[in-house]
Amino acid sequence: MKNVTHTLVALIYAVTILACSAASRAQEHQHDTMPGMGKPPQQEKPKEQKKPDAMSGMQMPGMNMPEHSHGNSFAEHAHFSSGTGWQPIDAPENMWMWKLGGWDLMLHGNLFVTSNNQGGPRGASKLESMSMAMLMEQKQVGRGMLIFRQMFSGDALTVPHPGFPELFQTGETYHGRPLVDHQHPHDVFSEISALYDLALSRHASWFVYAGPAAEPALGPVAFVHRASAAELPLAPLSHHLQDSTHISYGVVTSGFTLGNTKDFKGTMLKLEASAFNGREPDEHRATIDLGALDSWSFRSGVNVGTRWSGQYSVGHLVHPEALEPGDLLRQTASLAYSRVIPGGHWCSTLVWGRNHKELEGTQQNSYLAESVVNFARLNYLMTRLELVDKDELFPPGPTAHAPTLPDSSRIGAYTFGGARDLVHNEKWNIGVGANFTTYSKPSALDPVYGKHPVSWEVFVRIRPGTMGHM
């Protein structure tokens, strides 16, 4: 597998060299056709001068931020996605934007203060807070666009011990023991990355993305950035089968986009590959745990118009779990839909994810459907429906060997809720909301979780105003 990873890294560097060479030839061609160097000056048509846009500081659906000479696909998507993932262009953007010199600066994020009440014998009730803030700096450089991103989380300061209570959730560790029925907090440094997208022609661009804290080309847009999950504080139960690599300490990605990158009216395709550190973050949430780029992934993505986005990805993760010795092969596929409706928007996502644990020879599947409808401007209805195979509910110990407890269980979680904005303007979206979750599970788990556990949350949510749909 190391040979495969080395080959992948070599291919990425080779693609980088070829793309730079192609860009150099394109610039030479442009120089040859300048007045006085190619065509006679009288054949040159004067370029139309664009009038200043009074709303240049605001982003409307389907419009680009400052674009280079052949359009820019990533300049649009990077504002509200994770890593190099894509969401539909019509997904709402909640951010503040301003200019400084030749840079376009952006800030988006969210803060949830939640009364979390997980039912049943294994449940718990906690007052907690989850937060995320992402800074972006964007500038046109030559024929391309350069984007820096930094994402931070305050979870490490506000998480209750041992983590956010969440029935049937698994993944990562606390004090050297597997976390079960709790969601781990996010690291302080969730992303520190740079992306450069270079136009090769009017219908093709090449990009490279890298960082000490970044996200490889694997999985859908992470739930913390997904428009369909914007009103749901807790992570999906399927997080560690779909998008858990959204914080990876060491990532290099390269790829190409093909299609209409100018106005997004047609179909766009994206092919990309990553070499990365596949180990999950450790328990020290304020550190950057750099490691070897010994894992790999490939992803193909498609956007159809401004409303549809899909992807399929496969990746090999070396020793992702701290307490499990084996590697795993992950596959994911997702389809996202967003559209503007009178007085709001509608965003939905379907995700399938599968982990194949190579040492045990087992595989776990997950299926997720989530949706949020914003209507009459201030109101939201949301749902998340999941089926997830869980094989880590009973870590090694006396309880794990009880004959009535299965090694793997198919868990269903069905969440429904609503929210309403108390403040809704260009600067702020501040709202209150609530949701409840019911579950399906094997009857063998009744003695541990109860027959019919029900969980519920009440929350206050704070984020920047919606700049994308004025």
pLDDT tens per residue, range 129-186? 999 999 999 999 999 999 999 999 999 888 888 899 999 999 988 888 899 999 999 9
pLDDT, average across residues 75-97: 84
Q: What is the 3-state secondary structure (H, E, C) of 13-41?
A: HHHHHHHHHHHHHHHHHHHHCCCCCCCCH
pLDDT of residue 126: 96
Is the residue at 325 inside a domain? yes
Q: At residue 381, does pLDDT exceed 80?
A: yes
**What is the rounded distance in angstroms from the CA atom of residue 352 to the CA atom of residue 331?**
8
End-to-end, the C-alpha distance of the chain in Å comes to: 50
Give all strands (DSSP E) within 376-453, no chain letters: 379-390, 409-424, 428-440
Q: At residue 47, does pLDDT exceed 50?
A: no
Nearest Cα residue to 209 out of 240, 250, 267, 243: 250
Q: At residue 339, does pLDDT exceed 90?
A: yes
**What is the rounded distance in angstroms from the CA atom of residue 141 to the CA atom of residue 27?**
13
For 350-361, how does the pLDDT look when each residue is reduced to its tens digit (9 = 90+)? 999 999 999 999
- pTM of the predicted protein model: 0.84
Residues contacting residue 218 through CB under 8 Å, at least 6 positions apart = 245, 274, 297, 299, 313, 314, 315, 330, 332
Question: Concatenated DSSP letters for 229-268?
Answer: GTT--SPPTTHHHHTGGGSBSSEEEEEEEEE-TTT--SEE
Residue 217 or 62, more confident: 217
Is the residue at 54 inside a domain? no
| Residue 79 pLDDT grade (very low, low, confident, very high; cuts 50, 70, 90) | low
pLDDT of residue 314: 98
Is the residue at 414 inside a domain? yes
For 134-144, how does the pLDDT look when each residue is reduced to its tens digit (9 = 90+)? 999 999 999 99
Number of domains the chain contains: 1
pLDDT of residue 338: 96
Contact 77, 221 (CB under 8 A): no
Is the residue at 276 inside a domain? yes
pLDDT, average across residues 283-294: 90
Number of H helices, E strands in the chain: 5, 19
Residues contacting residue 49 through CB under 8 Å, at least 6 positions apart = none
Domain range for 154 is 2-28+59-464
**What is the rounded distance in angstroms from the CA atom of residue 300 to the CA atom of residue 298?**
7
| Residue 466 pLDDT grade (very low, low, confident, very high; cuts 50, 70, 90) | confident
**What is the rounded distance in angstroms from the CA atom of residue 149 to the CA atom of residue 151?**
7
Q: At residue 102, does pLDDT exceed 60?
A: yes
For 272-286, how does the pLDDT look when each residue is reduced to its tens digit (9 = 90+)? 999 999 998 888 888
For 305-320, how does the pLDDT look when each residue is reduced to its tens digit (9 = 90+)? 999 999 999 999 999 9
Q: Is 121 left (phi over 0), alpha (psi -120 to 50) or beta?
A: alpha
For 388-426, how does the pLDDT look when each residue is reduced to its tens digit (9 = 90+)? 999 999 987 655 445 567 889 999 999 999 999 999 998
Is the residue at 343 inside a domain? yes
Is the residue at 453 inside a domain? yes
Q: Output the six-digit token pair for 326.
A: 């084996």
Is the residue at 184 inside a domain? yes
CATH number at 205 reads 2.40.160.10
Is the residue at 11 inside a domain? yes
For 13-43, how does the pLDDT look when each residue is reduced to its tens digit (9 = 90+)? 343 444 444 444 444 444 444 444 443 444 4
